[in-house]
Structure 1
Amino acid sequence: MSNFSLTVLIEINGVMTKAGSITGTDYKDAVFAYDDSYTAEKNHRPISISLPLSKKPFSAESTRNYFEGLLPEGFTRKSIADSMHSDPDDYISILRELGRECLGAIQIVDESIRTVEADYKELSKKEVKALAKEGASLAANLVIQSHLSLTGASGKTGLYYDEKKKKWYQPVGSAPSNFIVKQSHVRLSNIVVNEQLCLLTAKKLGIDVPESFVVQTGKNKTEDADILFATKRYDRVVTDDSRKVKDLPVPYRLHQEDFAQALGINSSQKYEKNGEHYLKQMFNIIRSYSANPIEDQFKLWRITVFNFLVGNTDNHIKNYSLLYNKDLRTVRLAPCYDVVAARVYKNDINEMSLSINGKLNMDEVTRADFELEAKSCGLGTKPAMKIFDEVHNGLLEALKESAGELEGKGFAQAGDIADKIKRRGVIHHDNSLMPKN
């Protein structure tokens, strides 16, 4: 690719608006600059906290850190690059192919390419079953066919679900999806039920989570190849004035960015390794930009405590996001997502992705470390530790209730997963996590 120009659009109050362009000769020197018409409008807001409104182009590094953060990772990204005969590192070529439907309200458009009309293609039960059975390979193909970009690892795609008719559709062109669908067996055994169990438990403990459910595609609810995990997209909303395609209401796009993007950190550095103190940086972002910083700080703290206690070691900074309203003027902490009790699979999975008082090994973290972390993050120690105790003391009962609900729906493995969380987690009533009398 040489002397390319990609248009960056963002949806504001339902209208796709040109924010700027990405230009360069290849992915190594690609730079983003806001359009003069965008910066001239006093009500317009930046597309990212890390890319404040400016009349000057951003560096190639800053450009890559934000826009590469819109792309899939791992197997899906490699599959897409292979299908394009492209280098997986060439994020610009992949973005050019997939950028019509990203997370949040961003669209990346090559105006030299004919626009594909927005549409929804109904998926048969056989096709949905194949998505569960064939896993990451078919998910990658759907991503390519839909020109749809979702961040994260393999086995994930965006689909449209008609909740009234209980039918699934593949988005085409710039048509928005409204659910993110994941496969189970391509990653870890029973991971779909594991994630649903964790989210149900989190909700019972006062944590805001997106609507989600397990999709049964076969007769056996305990077979990974017969189930999918569906999460309703909180960055897509349907209102009374939503336009329709094939009698399906088309969602408005709400903008979002994960904390790696907001902090200007590349996706490859999403795991804390060298004392970067990501959690403190996240709290600083909330204090500076949230429309309700006090409430959102304690929401983030509650999620942090829960992830630790349930044994979610994949709690990296791309698994936390900020959500904007329709006009981009209000920013709040997004609902909790991508929560899996990783220690269910191995006793020695103990290295977290965010440190607590400088410690990444969860077996070394004590109550005192949480107190010091709260202080370092600018929280009052007393209210922070009250939340800690609420989550700690309520977790086992919430876990038991959630497992019972899933077992009642035929997912017998939920009880075993809950038992493993208890045995392999960090919930012990005789350890240093308990308050001192």
Structure 2
Amino acid sequence: MNRCLSTLAKLDEEGYSAPALARLADRRAFPPRLEFTRADIMEIRTRTAAHMSISGVQEKISLRLHRGKLQPVTEDGEYILKPIPGLALPRFQEDVPANENLTMQLAEQIYGIHTAPNACIRLANSELAYITRRFDRRRDGTRVAQEDFCQLMGKTPESAGPLYKYGASYEELGQALRKYCSAYPVELEKLFRQIVFNYAVANGDAHLKNFSLQQTATFGDYVLTPAYDLLCTKLHLPEESRLAIDLFAEDEEPESIATYGFVTGADLLDLASRFGLIEQRARTILNDICDHRDKARDLIARSFLSDEAKVVYQAIFDERLRALEIRG
């Protein structure tokens, strides 16, 4: 089955659908295949690493779209390209790009979470890589004021040690959002939906640096950025903890841990209460995450994951939804 490399919609031949091209490239020509391989990416990254500011441990390079071609650049990049990681993973190493694309599409298409434009793309040898359009640049190239929650909360390696990205809870993240967002009632609901979704897809990498605020062009206030770096990390790391950071401040353990041994929907409703969300709104968000199994199953089946990885991804997702359905 030929599919859109971004939205996973059926196509006559593999490439990009019109909606995908609108988001990825403002309807400009966008290549479904690059002219270099993963080995070339490693060489480019080594050569340009001192000039790039893209954070994270996964291999990444910056690209710019010029006359229908994506070219590596050291500044003013429009896109971030992530190939299959070089660091050995316990399982499904080659499925990482497809995993991130699938998880981002689940968030956007099915669960109403605004995400960074993203897609898979073929390298010169047909291997898949993941590509995402940067949202911290305007179309004229100027920067958008933006800070992640490590920056907002003063978490640095110097102040909080090497695990600084994990040095606060989701409850405290919500408190920081309330402090910096004038429209915090709306943004707290968006944050809560992201946290629930991350739990549903077993994203154990949803730490403080993977949530950010950016300034709006209209009013100059701050809102959550589009979601980014969403993937089912448990697909590759089966022994990973169920949450990237604690739910509650001061190392308070969720009540369900004693009863079930894992976090449940009841704990997330407790988090919503601490955020100050209306209970019925929080329950509606939980229900929304749990009530679209068939749509999610269809998207998983159409993804670029290997057949074995699809089965495991689906099983992880189903198990997490069962946990979210426990409300008392």
1:400 pairs, out of 266, 285, 297, with 297
Q: Structure 1 counterpart of 2:72, which letter?
A: Q
Q: Structure 2 counterpart of 1:423, which letter?
A: A
CA offsets per residue over residues 18-39 of structure 1, 9 Å max, x none? xxxxxxxxxxxxxxxxxxxxxx
Q: Structure 2 counterpart of 1:150, which letter?
A: I
Q: Structure 2 counterpart of 1:178, which letter?
A: E
Judge conservation of contact 2:64–2:76 (CA < 8 Å) in 1: yes
The answer on 1:170 being equivalent to 2:69 is: no
- C-alpha separation between the residues in 1 aligned to 2:296 and 2:65? 28
What is the aligned partner in structure 2 of residue 421 from structure 1?
Answer: 313
What is the aligned partner in structure 1 of residue 64 from structure 2?
Answer: 160
Q: Structure 1 counterpart of 2:36, which letter?
A: K
- C-alpha separation between the residues in 2 aligned to 1:329 and 1:257? 14
What is the aligned partner in structure 1 of residue 194 from structure 2?
Answer: 303
The answer on 1:286 being equivalent to 2:177 is: yes
What is the aligned partner in structure 2 of residue 367 from structure 1?
Answer: 265
Unaligned 5+ runs, structure 1: 1-124, 221-225, 243-250
Provide closer, same or farther for how the CA distance between residues 363 and 135 of structure 1 changes in structure 2, counting only shifts above 3 A: farther
Provide closer, same or farther for how the CA distance between residues 426 and 140 of structure 1 changes in structure 2, counting only shifts above 3 A: farther
Q: How does 1:266-277 map to 2 (within 5 A)?
A: 266=156, 268-272=162-166, 276=168
Q: How does 1:207-246 map to 2 (within 5 A)?
A: 207-220=113-126, 226-238=127-139, 242=140
Judge conservation of contact 1:270–1:318 (CA < 8 Å) in 2: no
State the TM-score, normalizing by the size of structure 2.
0.76
Q: Structure 2 counterpart of 1:179, which letter?
A: Y
CA offsets per residue over residues 30-80 of structure 1, 9 Å max, x none? xxxxxxxxxxxxxxxxxxxxxxxxxxxxxxxxxxxxxxxxxxxxxxxxxxx
What is the aligned partner in structure 2 of residue 57 from structure 1?
Answer: none
Q: How does 1:341-380 map to 2 (within 5 A)?
A: 341-357=232-248, 358-359=252-253, 364-380=262-278
In the alignment of these two chains, the number of paired residues is 281
Judge conservation of contact 1:311–1:421 (CA < 8 Å) in 2: no
CA offsets per residue over residues 299-325 of structure 1, 9 Å max, x none? 111110010010000111001111113
Provide closer, same or farther for how the CA distance between residues 428 and 365 of structure 1 changes in structure 2, counting only shifts above 3 A: closer
Q: CA deviation at 1:363?
A: 5.5
The answer on 1:254 being equivalent to 2:155 is: no
Q: Structure 2 counterpart of 1:209, which letter?
A: T
Provide closer, same or farther for how the CA distance between residues 428 and 310 of structure 1 changes in structure 2, counting only shifts above 3 A: closer
Instruction: Select the structure with the greater relative contact order (CA < 8 A; seq sep ≥ 6).
Output: 2
Unaligned 5+ runs, structure 2: 1-31
- C-alpha separation between the residues in 2 aligned to 1:323 and 1:341? 25
Provide closer, same or farther for how the CA distance between residues 252 and 401 of structure 1 changes in structure 2, counting only shifts above 3 A: farther
- SS of the residue corresponding to residue 354 of structure 1 reads coil
Judge conservation of contact 2:59–2:86 (CA < 8 Å) in 1: yes
1:192 pairs, out of 82, 97, 100, with 97
Provide closer, same or farther for how the CA distance between residues 374 and 129 of structure 1 changes in structure 2, counting only shifts above 3 A: same
- C-alpha separation between the residues in 1 aligned to 2:241 and 2:317? 9
Q: Considering only aligned residues, what root-mean-square deviation do their CA atoms show, in Å? A: 3.0
Q: Structure 2 counterpart of 1:237, which letter?
A: R
The answer on 1:381 being equivalent to 2:268 is: no
Judge conservation of contact 1:307–1:315 (CA < 8 Å) in 2: yes
The answer on 1:140 being equivalent to 2:46 is: yes
State the TM-score, normalizing by the size of structure 1.
0.58
Provide closer, same or farther for how the CA distance between residues 359 and 169 of structure 1 changes in structure 2, counting only shifts above 3 A: farther
The answer on 1:129 being equivalent to 2:26 is: no
What is the aligned partner in structure 1 of residue 155 from structure 2?
Answer: 265
| % same residue | 20
- SS of the residue corresponding to residue 315 of structure 2 reads helix
Provide closer, same or farther for how the CA distance between residues 348 and 377 of structure 1 changes in structure 2, counting only shifts above 3 A: same
